[in-house]
Structure 1
Amino acid sequence: MDLTDPPAATGPDAVPGAHRLLDIPGVRNARDVGGFTTTQGARVRTGLLYRTGWLAELTPEGALAVAKLGVRTVLDLRDPAEIERWPDRLHGLEPATAHHPLLPQDGEDHYGKPLAEAYRLITDTAADTLPALLGRLTEAGALPALLHCAVGRDRTGIAVAVLLGALGVADEDIVDDYLLSNLGLGLLDGVPQEYVDANGVVRVTEVVGPALITGVLAVLRERYGSPAAFLVEHGLGEQGLARLRELFLDPA
């Protein structure tokens, strides 16, 4: 499966759903995961799960905004080295926190890999991480929750895509949500943005197209039949999937 992308369209008009981006001071790329209609006509509930970039630069004003969202759980997908170097700043907020690193913890430096390779690596090892991560959302009192990695696009994007796919959201809408990160990260002006990884190496974030995330979904379908079947087979179980759908979906 080729996970490379053709040149992506640029400009705010190229990304549907711009109105979904949330203003949380000190946090980039924030939005509600809900609001989509599934292929069966159900609607993904809003106000239950938010996706963002890291909270390491959250301001006191931003903390007030997070508090207004009612966030009870923060799920951090970063590596331990990233968390140690840039811990979340919660300014007195006391959500439950859980760390579910999506990149393999094998001692290798994965930050410099091409995105296609990194996405494939995460997909290949997802059985060890994603069912447990998404299962956390079904625990009593876990919602509303906030899910983040570093910039809220790649690791967060994969986790959200699998969740939405398991809920029955169409690929077109999953792609729209994924591509909204181009706008949420300020990449549509054509100027790549630099960031420093956990090893202190300067990297560049550039605009992405849809093939990275559709490639992840395609791999899961080739191997398991569907994102839902993948989660069921690797630990979530039929009961866990039913609970996830019960929590997140308003029936048609």
Structure 2
Amino acid sequence: MRIRGSRTAIALGVGAALLGGGIAAGPAASAAQSAAAHAPPTAQRLVPVEGTANFRDLGGYRTYDGEKTRSGVLYRSEALNKVTPNGVAQMAALKLKGIVDFRTAAEIAANGPDKYPAGVPNTNLAVSDGGLMTTLYAVITSGDPVKQEQILGNGRAAQLMVDMYRTFVDDPAIRAQFAATAKGVANGTVSLYHCSAGKDRAGWMTAILLTAVGVPTGTVNQDYLLSNQYLKPGNDALKQQLLASGRMQNPSLLDPLLGVDQRYLDAARAAIDARYGSFGKYLTDGLGLDILTLVKLRQRLVT
């Protein structure tokens, strides 16, 4: 995320970016270390696009039947608002078919529109944060450590994230956006999707697609948790700035929001079990993906 000058702009930028943030503490940090140890090398996972830190290729993952997801077909990322001219050229070399931006209008207004190669369709399929950005804006701009502790401390920040992940499954408007993206991927019109920092909405979209084409759950989890590793430097810098500006005395309160945690992914899966009984039923009944679409997904994403 871009570090802004004024305190208000910093807070608004943080609020938008926290909808898809970076480094985690405690269990998430140790889980990220485990994921990094078992995931493909960074050089094979990250895609060099100047101005991004979490732009990834979804190729190279083994499926249950021994096949492998294709490289150079589908990518996930954080917002593209900081992509440099050289980064745009690097993206052009990927020959993208289309981009989906999951950010809300407020996030785009706070942090800026995407920068990407001319001629590539870019569709905004906004996924609501359930009021998280508004809450964070109020918390950070208050500069009140007591209020910040009351809202984010003692597990409450993590609960905000768990609640948001449940809406990914339970909210019909949100399901429609993920479904439209999955159909675009299957039809070959979408080859990149992103949110603010590429970890939550992009993370769940990735979990949907990898699971749908037969990538084992453990591998899906590892891919999800890699965001902690790749976004750590930027998140550390952000927390230092908030501390130095006096807006927060304890920026570590933000860790559950800036990171990904296995509990968040598990919360979405639990919501699927409760509502649909199985992931397969979620794909067909929840997202409305018919068998032909699922077959096309497999054909496009798996060798």
Give the shorter-chain TM-score range: 0.7 to 0.9
- Cα deviation for residue 25 of structure 1 reads 0.7
Please tell me the root mean square deviation across aligned C-alpha atoms, in Å.
Answer: 2.9
CA deviation after TM superposition for structure 1 residue 47, in Å = 0.9
SS across alignment from 1:9 = helix
1:127 aligned onto 2:175: yes
Alpha carbons of 1:8 and 1:36: their partners in 2 closer, same or farther (altered >3 Å)?
same
Q: Distance in 2 between matches of 1:55 and 1:8?
A: 25
Q: Distance in 2 between matches of 1:102 and 1:190?
A: 23
1:70 equivalenced with 2:90 (yes/no): no
2:131 matched residue in structure 1: 109
Q: Supply the distance in 2 between the matched residues of 1:190 and 1:99 (Cα, whole angstroms).
A: 25
Question: Which amino acid is 1:110 matched to?
Answer: L
Gaps of 5+ in 1: none
Q: Deviations over 1:160-205 (max 9, x none)?
A: 1011111111111111101110011126x99484599xxxx99945
Larger radius of gyration: 2
SS in 1 for 2:29: coil
What corresponds to 1:161 in structure 2? 207
Aligned pairs for 1:4-83 (under 5 A) are: 7-10=27-30, 13-16=33-36, 17=39, 18-19=41-42, 20-83=45-108
Is the 1:228–1:241 Cα contact (8 Å) retained in structure 2? no
- Tell me the number of residue pairs that the alignment of Structure 1 and Structure 2 aligns: 235
Q: Secondary structure at the match of 2:197?
A: coil
Question: Does residue 269 of structure 2 align to residue 220 of structure 1?
Answer: no
Deviations 1:205-235 (A, max 9, x none): 5333312113322332443244343222232
Show the counterpart of 1:89: 115
Give yes or no for contact 1:38–1:168 (8 Å, CA) kept in 2. yes
- How far off is 1:122 after superposition? 1.9
Higher helix fraction (1 or 2)? 2
1:180 paired residue number: 226
Distance 1:13 1:110, change over 3 A: closer
CA distance in 2 between partners of 1:131 and 1:206 (Å): 26
| CA distance in structure 1 between the partners assigned to 2:76 and 2:92 by the alignment | 15
Contact 2:81–2:113 under 8 Å retained in 1: yes
Q: How much identity, in percent, do the aligned residues show?
A: 29
Residue pair 2:228, 2:259 contacting (<8 A) in 1 also: yes
**In structure 2, how many angstroms separate the alpha carbons of the residues matched to 1:69 and 1:27?**
15
Question: Residue by residue, what CA displacement relative to the aligned partner does 1:57-79 show, whole Å, maximum 9, x if unpaired?
Answer: 11011111111111121111111
Higher-strand-fraction structure: 1
Change (3 A) 1:136 1:177: same
1:212 and 1:6 map into 2 onto residues whose CA distance is 14
Unaligned 5+ residue runs, structure 2?
A: 1-24, 136-156
